[in-house]
Structure 1
Amino acid sequence: MRVFDTSFDYMTDTAAKTKPGNAGSPPDSDSGTPKQRDPDSHSPKLRADHQLLWTKTLKSGVLFEPTAPPKRTDGYLIFTDPSEARHWYGSDAITHSYTGRARTASLAKAIASLNEDERSRYLKPPYTIGSAMIWPVRKKDRPTMNQARGLRSLIADRMDLTLECIRRHYAGEPESPLAHVINAYADFFAFFDGFKEFVDFFHFQDLVTPDYEEVRFYLPFDNFKRSGMPATKDEYVTYREATLEFIAARNRRMAEWVIENHPEIEVRQ
């Protein structure tokens, strides 16, 4: 029986790769250290779980069914729409601890001031399905959603801020920091009958108000006037607690959906 496990850490599903020229060296030797592969590219289980979760019938009646090509080099997931047009998708983590990227001096200081328990909880949590998303990708439209979310400092990889940009797109509201890339991939967002279907489809309900009119932000929102990164220890702790709470809630929603729609699958939480 297939198992869907919301507690599974996809970091454990990718083989460590030794640096070139160091084959056979012990992992802790001076001559070579293993490099963790990116689960978004190399975890077979993550790709299979994406395929399971996002195969659904849209309100339009179209079956959205992204499938894995036989050869990984041909793409991650591909959806062929009713017109026979093919759409490519890639996986991306939608939460960030800001431990492996350029940071402001204040954020670096804030992270350095965390106590041992806080560091254990916030810096390297398991990469579970609740923290994963698929976005459309194609060579002619760069940056992709994956890239733009990280490149735009006003977004800083935050899913709450990303979702606000998507909400504005559907509402036809003034431009957002991601307006250009969202417009480039408007065909992807057009699959969904508005913001509510997008939110429900990808299990983002815990990031919006019950009426779907507003996004619930991790930190107080200032209409994109400042960097999306936390600036103080208090902000960082607030941000990380909010993101971990969201991941847990999204994991539960995903598990409930699989239980309801795939009784043949064993669900673990």
Structure 2
Amino acid sequence: MLLRENAPLREYCSMRVGGPARLAAFPETAEELAALLRAGGRRVVLGGGSNVLFPDEGYDGTVIFTTRLCGLTADGCMLSAQAGVPLSAAARRALECGLGGLAFAYGIPGTVGGGVYMNAGAYGGQIADCLVRATLLDAAGEPRVVPASELALGYRSSALMDGDWTLLSADFALVPAPPEEIRAEMERNMQARREKQPLEYPSCGSTFKRPPGQYAGALIERCGLKGCTVGGAQVSEKHAGFVVNRGDATSADVRALIAHIQRVVAEKTGVLLECEVRIIDNE
């Protein structure tokens, strides 16, 4: 297992901000992950770091990255993936097997673990649509298989956000479909991302959850905040629902800009935008 002391978190997080972690750990087996959980202490478990902000001073604990837990198998219409498998890789494997139901996940910048954690979704699909069960580890590293119906999967939320459970793997029930149709859907979704999203800059993806009946990006643009900057952080000029790092942003810049957006939108529209990004502190 790779262990790295004083690991610069900006190297592991998609926004490219954040100070050093006291220790970064990269387990390669379920047993190694369980041992890290049993060790206790301040810790946080992440996948690819695509939807998270650490403070500029760093994290005084252990950051466990599951990216080396990358087992991926298909059996009939069931696709089983460990927590560190990129969602795009899972979608590609489903395509190879002629299985539909995961095309929406192609291009989502996250892992299976993070996808289940927040019930990731895009283009009319979400993890809850095809997840059958998940294998979780408790704080003592003991496994438990939990049906999807017990995970309280909602809009960008799940029961995993409120408990001390870590996802080890997930099983998805998919449906046979013509590969050319699956590939076409994946390509349409990816083309839409390229056209509408600021993929050329580091970001955490969509910064805010969608308010009921509205779109965060449209509200932000309506309030005149498109292109607004704080330090090196900017409301994307391409899609106002994204906060991007123009190259020299700090975590403090990003947080300050998020707070500014929330304040202005609330004052002008009465809508309080809920941040979708997971903000981690040392408290």
Shared fold, TM over 0.5: no
TM-score (norm 1): 0.28
Q: Which has the higher contact order (CA 8 A, sep 6+)?
A: 1
- Per residue, is there more strand in 1 or in 2? 2
TM-score (norm 2): 0.27
